[in-house]
Structure formats: C-alpha cells, structure tokens
Structure 1
Amino acid sequence: MTQSMIGLVVVVAALLVIAFVFARRYRHAHPQETMTQWLDAHHMGWLHHRH
C-alpha cells in the first residue's frame, strides 16, 4: 500500500468511528425516536419517501 492509500484508509476509519460515537450518543439521548422519525426531523424524508 502506498502512503496516501494508508492515509485514506485511516481517515475513513476515523470518520466511521466518530459517526458511530455520535450516533450512540444521540440514540442514548433520544431512545424513543425511530430512524424514520430522525430522518424526517432532519429534512431527509426523501430517503424513505413512498410513492
């Protein structure tokens, strides 16, 4: 692996860890909220829009 490729893998792994930590923190603070409600609340209803 080249040095830039290793750097990219490290950055992606770090971002995934950060996202996981924030998701766990949010789920702990709002245990009653479902993923669909979260998406709607954050203006991302288009991800699960039904026709």
Structure 2
Amino acid sequence: MTQSMIGFVIGLAVMIGAAGMLGRRYRRDHPENPDSAVRMREWLDTHHMSWLHHKH
C-alpha cells in the first residue's frame, strides 16, 4: 500500500467511527417512540433507496 492509500483508509475509518458515535449519541438523546418508526417507514417508502425497506 502506498502512503496516500494508507492515509485514505485511516481517514475513512475515522469518518465511519465518528458517524457511528454521532448516531449512537443521537439515538441516546432521542429514544424511539412508535411515531418515529412510522415516520422512518414512510421516509423509506418515498426515498430513492426504498428497496432497503422490505414490505412484509
């Protein structure tokens, strides 16, 4: 691996770690209630990545 590639991989790992920490903090500060689950389902249905939400 070249030095720039190592820097890229480390930077990517730091970004993923920061996103995970922020997500965990957000979920702790905003505990889920039944309303938020419905809103998330509606958002997934209208979003261009709706294939992530499998309708059962």
TM-score band, normalised by the shorter chain?
0.5 to 0.7
Q: CA deviation at 1:37?
A: 2.4
Q: Which residue number in structure 1 is paired with residue 55 of structure 2? A: 50
- RMSD between superposed Cα atoms in Å: 3.1
CA deviation profile, 1:1-51 (whole Å, cap 9, x unmatched): 2011101111110111111111111110122247x828728x343231528
Structure 2 gaps, min length 5 = none
TM-score, normalization by structure 2: 0.60
Structure 1 gaps, min length 5 = none
Q: Considering only CA atoms, is the larger Rg found in Structure 1 or Structure 2?
A: 2
TM-score, normalization by structure 1: 0.64
